[in-house]
Amino acid sequence: MITSLKSAIASAPMRWAVGGWSLFIAENWILSENRTFIIQELGDDGYHYLYGFLSTAAVGSIIYGYRYKIRGAGPFAWPAGAAAPPAVRVASFAVQALALGMASQSFPKLQIPVHLASEPSESRQSAAVVG
């Protein structure tokens, strides 16, 4: 079991899966932390061009890895045509429930977009005219 886990972690599909996402996270973190410096050096448009180029390259490596290197390779999938194991079904249900619960907290509260205001008290009182 330990040797199969070590070989799975050291496998090329695992490197592609972890590498693409690591590149994406590192690129976002580095560019976000150095935003003002990059804008000073390249300008606002240059920063956005650099950010867009590097994000596209990182996501492209993720898509390439999953499309051509990882799909159908273990430990990411069970045999084609077979039903998912019960433990996988339970885990997927739990993760989806958690995600839906978290997503439901991000919506704005429902409210009527009308605010009723009472009239000022002075307009209700009639002014006494001393003659």
**Could you tell me the mean pLDDT of each successive run of 10 residues in the chain, 131 residues long?**
64 80 91 93 93 92 84 64 84 94 84 71 54 52
Measure the CA angle with vertex 108, ends 103 and 110; round to 5°: 120
- Helix count (H) and strand count (E) of the chain? 5, 0
Residues 75 and 8 sit within 8 Å (Cβ to Cβ): yes
- Position 2 scores a pLDDT of 62
pTM value is 0.53
Residues 69 and 77 sit within 8 Å (Cβ to Cβ): no
